[in-house]
Amino acid sequence: MQSRHKISQGLGLLALLAGASQALAATPVTLSCTVPDGANTVVLSTNTTEWDVDPGTGTFVTATAVTSPNPGWTNPSYPAQWISSSATGASSGAVNKVFRTTLQPDPNVVLGSAQIALEFKVDDVLQSLVLNGTTLGGPYAGGFSSASSVPAVAATLVAGSNVLDLNVADTGAVVWGLNARLTLTYDCRTPVTPVVTPAPVPVDAPWALLGLGGLLAAAAAAAARRRRA
């Protein structure tokens, strides 16, 4: 009985580690300071490299490009992929789905200056836009036949990793997916070069050096007298 309990604990730990690795599968999006002292822009579209999805199971997996979409899904004018958890976007049930990406700001990004605008097509409903657990807005009107847009909303970043979630309601429980382009704008500050201050020289240092010189001279004179003797 005890061995079976240990095996069960081990399997649970492996499942937890597998879920963590899946959650970190997507490549973080770097918010770099191309303009060192001014406004910067990063355009992020849905793809299979920088996005993970939770199909309603509570576990994130790498986003999959929908290559056999619902006939009603059309491609927008902006460059982006329809993504889901499978190539068909087949639904696992009428539960909310999550599309996730991670933002990594440069140390010189002004964290409170960020704004996020969004163009999207979705099946079924884009419920909310959430950054680091804080809801920025939603629900948003839109569908899969024509693109909708969301005006820029303020988004306060933190140093290090920032988790951006797009929560989608799958009400029809037939197919689900997202096709979106996000435009992130933010300010950068000029990098500050640290000033190196030399260590102060003690006030009595010159006198100490003179004293040492005197001792050396006395030692040399004593050695010379011994040689003459």
Is residue 207 domain-resident?
A: no
CA dist 106 → 116, 162, 190 (Å) = 17, 12, 12
Taking the C-alpha atoms of residue 56 and residue 53, their distance in angstroms, rounded to an integer, is: 9
Is residue 17 domain-resident?
A: no
Question: For the chain, how many structural domains are there in total?
Answer: 1
Cis peptide bond upstream of 54, omega within 30:
no
CA dist 5 → 12, 17, 18, 19, 169 (Å) = 11, 19, 20, 21, 38
Per residue in 80-133, pLDDT tens? 999 999 999 999 898 999 999 999 999 999 999 999 999 999 999 999 999 999
CATH number, domain of 181, equals: 2.60.120.260
pLDDT for 92: 86
Q: Which residues contact 21 (CB under 8 A, 6 or more apart)?
A: none
Domain that holds residue 99: 22-187
Is residue 93 domain-resident?
A: yes
Is residue 196 domain-resident?
A: no
Residue with tokens 């309990």: 5
Is residue 129 domain-resident?
A: yes
pLDDT for 80: 95
Is residue 102 domain-resident?
A: yes
pLDDT for 172: 87
Angle CA 135–33–37, to nearest 5:
105
Is residue 160 domain-resident?
A: yes
Is residue 169 domain-resident?
A: yes
Positions in the chain short of pLDDT 50: 1-23, 207, 209
pLDDT for 199: 72
pLDDT for 202: 64
pLDDT for 66: 97
